[in-house]
Amino acid sequence: MPTRSVRAPGGRPVVKRTESAKPPPVLVRQVRGGVVESRHRGSIVQVDVDGTVERVLGDADAVVNIRSAVKPFGLVALVEAGGVETFDLSSAELAIMAGSHSGEDLHVRTLQGIFRRSGISQQMLGCGSAGAPLDALTAARLSRDGEKAGPIRHMCSAQHTSLLLLCKINDWPVEEYWLPDHPVQHLYTATIARAFSTSAALLLTSTDACGVPTYAFPLAEVARAFAMLADPSAVRPTDTRFSMAAALTRIRDAMLANPEMVAGTRDRLDTSVMKTMPGRVVAKGGAEGLRCFSVLPGSASRRSRSSGIALKIEDGGGFDRAGAAASVETLRQVGVLDPAALRALARYHRPVALDPRGERVGEAVAEFELAPLGELLG
């Protein structure tokens, strides 16, 4: 079977399988009139902060581009550089820079406040405006008023804002800050490498849709990073990630306190999960069907330690329906969701397809068993 090797955290070789490998299991089926129209395959892994795998379905070693799920970890660079104090950043402002916002007016106002205080022009944003805003109602209003969405409404504009603030602090040029050889990208990449217990030279990189570098890791390593975000204080002093704990705690708490800034006020899974389970789960998605969760200590039944969950839909997510359905079902099975929370997230758990009159004609159904690893081995 053809393979190729890439390097994972710590420099160990990881075999990345080709298309001829055994496919991951079906997680979600799209059903219409009793007929399965689509099948969405994927992998799920839950690990603790030390990287011990607790549950796995599919391939925990599948190499994935982390895309926007990297943002909470990259933001550590700004916090450690004193950006919160230098620019008097509020909790909401920190949260939006760790998230992927919907481009609503509250997001624009929040970012404009940062730009005013920093003295940086928002015209320096290099994220573009493709697909902005994500929020359908905001997009409809802008279209009605003949207004074209600018880069500040792009879902990644807050991450780009954090990069511009780092340039300001370090007296680096703000021009072409998105290029891989710019000093701010060297710092950002080094910060990501620390979060994943590796070195910048060993990272597998590519370019994200917003123009900045993104990074690839085995799915289990992504889950391990989100376990650290759940409880940074649990990182051992001998762990190379220990120095990030204070900054990550600040970022985690900002995200928990401001879920609307992490995503949006309408129809965003990350926000809905965090609002439904306040103070218990951090949710952050990435593109192409990647979904990540930090389960805080004591938030899941029968356990006291934190954990991280990473889920990847192989085909990219089926218009997001597969990622949403599989995510809620995963949280249910690991014991995070009580019946009331499950009801509150029902529209994500079984996303429906409607006809022109609003009648339900199809639905996405998540059916799989994410058993604890000990049970599988027994």
What is the Cα gyration radius of the chain?
20
Amino acid found at 201:
A
Averaged pLDDT, 34-42: 96
* CB-based contact 250:94 (threshold 8 Å): yes
pTM for the full predicted model: 0.93
**Residue 246 to residues 77, 79, 100, 168, 235: CA-CA distances in angstroms?**
12, 9, 23, 23, 11
Tokens representing 227 are 């376990």
DSSP string, 362-378: EEEEE-----BHHHHH-
In whole angstroms, give the CA distance from residue 124 to residue 120.
8
pLDDT value of residue 318: 61
Query: What three-state secondary structure class fits 238?
Result: coil
Backbone angles phi, psi at 306, to 5 degrees: -75, 165
Order of strands across the sheet that contains 213-218: 63-65, 213-218, 204-207
Q: In this model, does residue 4 exceed pLDDT 70?
A: no
**Residue where the block lists tokens 């649990």:** 234
pLDDT at 373: 84
Q: What is the pLDDT of residue 5?
A: 42
Per residue in 339-350, pLDDT (tens digit) is 999 999 999 999
Pairwise CA distance, residues 154 & 20, whole Å: 37
Q: What is the pLDDT of residues 234-279, one digit of tens each?
A: 999 999 999 999 999 999 999 999 999 999 999 999 999 999 999 9
Phi, psi of 58 (to 5 degrees): 90, -140
Say which DSSP state 154 is in: S
Comparing C-alpha atoms, which of 312, 125, 114, 102 is closest to residue 211? 125
Question: Percent of the chain having pLDDT more than 70?
Answer: 92
- Least trusted range by pLDDT, from 9-13, 99-103, 280-284, 365-369: 9-13
Of residues 28, 48, 49, the one with CA closest to residue 38: 28
**pLDDT value of position 155:** 98
pLDDT above 60 (res 17): no
The residue with tokens 């620019």 is 87
Mean pLDDT is lowest, of 8-17, 139-148, 184-193, for 8-17
E strand or H helix at 282, and its extent? strand 281-286
Dist. CA 48–CA 187, nearest whole Å:
27
Identify which has the larger pLDDT, 8 or 346. Answer: 346
d(CA 58, CA 280) in angstroms, rounded, equals 26
